[in-house]
Amino acid sequence: MEKLINITLKVWRQKGPQVKGAFETYSLDGISTESSFLEMLDILNENLINEGKEPIVFDHDCREGICGMCSLYINGHPHGPDEDITTCQLHMRKFKDGETITIEPWRSAGFPVIRDLMVDRNAFDKIMQAGGYVNVNTGGIPDANAIAIPKVDADEAMDSASCIGCGACVAACKNGSAMLFVSAKVSQLALLPQGRVEATRRAKAMVAKMDELGFGNCTNTGACEVECPKNVSISNIARLNREFLKAKFRD
């Protein structure tokens, strides 16, 4: 049932990566509980524009929970207080009338703030580039049953591949670690025979690039798994560690 609520927003405003930011407070009245969180921000920005003020900059694209661009830290949770969703799937019915909502960007050395709530997540692209290509035969398409892959391995590889690279794991980690993201991308290939050719080089290169870009070490607290909108398992981190150690032993 639709209700109208009044809310107070504490929003992080920052004009650039080298500029000191601060929270600014805004009030919104008559917000429908059926509105999405991003629709609420659209209403706020429309009000700010009508008042001749700078609108709040935030990332968004598909608004269907697919791309992960809607990366906001809301009331102490990446993507907000709901479970297994991205910010664009969060609705205002999760908040109470009169509530104060604090909105921040991802906080990580690897994700510098571009402006307000938008951060530069090119670091994830650079880690993927460090992983390189997969050396497979690009000739005729083989029959699906030609390469025997146990269903358990195939399912786990698919679950790992579901990572959308939104960065919630980094935002949730008190060390700003990217281990869940990197391990998911390593796992989706390490579990399949097509990815074994470059496995040694891939694990070392991706971990080295992750460290180079300023991400912290894994805390082993499991906060990344809890906050991941796609339920990527922390067991992938153990697999990444095994892949990395095997690569070092081979050296």
Please answer whether residues 69 and 57 qualify as being in contact, where contact means their C-beta atoms are separated by less than 8 angstroms. no
Q: Is 76 helix (H, G, I), strand (E, B) or coil?
A: coil
CATH class of 122-250: mainly alpha
Residue 195: what pLDDT?
85
pLDDT digits (tens, 9 = 90+) for 111-122: 999 999 999 999
Please answer whether residues 103 and 9 qualify as being in contact, where contact means their C-beta atoms are separated by less than 8 angstroms. yes
Residue 139: what pLDDT?
63
Share of the chain above pLDDT 90, in %: 80
Q: Is the pLDDT of residue 2 over 90?
A: no
The residue ranking higher by pLDDT, 223 or 196, is: 223
Domain segments of the chain as ranges? 4-104, 122-250
Helix ranges, 71-214 (H):
122-131, 151-161, 168-172, 179-190, 199-212
Query: Confidence band (pLDDT; 50, 70, 90) for 199?
Result: confident
The residue ranking higher by pLDDT, 205 or 248, is: 205
Please answer whether residues 189 and 199 qualify as being in contact, where contact means their C-beta atoms are separated by less than 8 angstroms. yes
pLDDT digits (tens, 9 = 90+) for 72-88: 999 999 999 999 999 99
Residue 189: what pLDDT?
87
Options 3.60.70.12, 3.30.565.10, 3.10.20.30, 3.40.50.740; CATH of 4-104: 3.10.20.30
Region 119-143: mean pLDDT is 84
Residue in 197, 180, 191 with CA at minimum distance from that of residue 156: 191
Please answer whether residues 192 and 138 qualify as being in contact, where contact means their C-beta atoms are separated by less than 8 angstroms. no
Query: Confidence band (pLDDT; 50, 70, 90) for 250?
Result: confident
DSSP annotation string for 19-38: S--EEEEEEEEEEETTSBHH
Give Cα 232 to chain centroid, integer Å. Answer: 11
pTM of the full structure: 0.91
Residue type, 132: G
Q: Is the pLDDT of residue 212 over 90?
A: yes
pLDDT digits (tens, 9 = 90+) for 136-171: 665 666 676 677 788 899 899 999 999 999 999 999
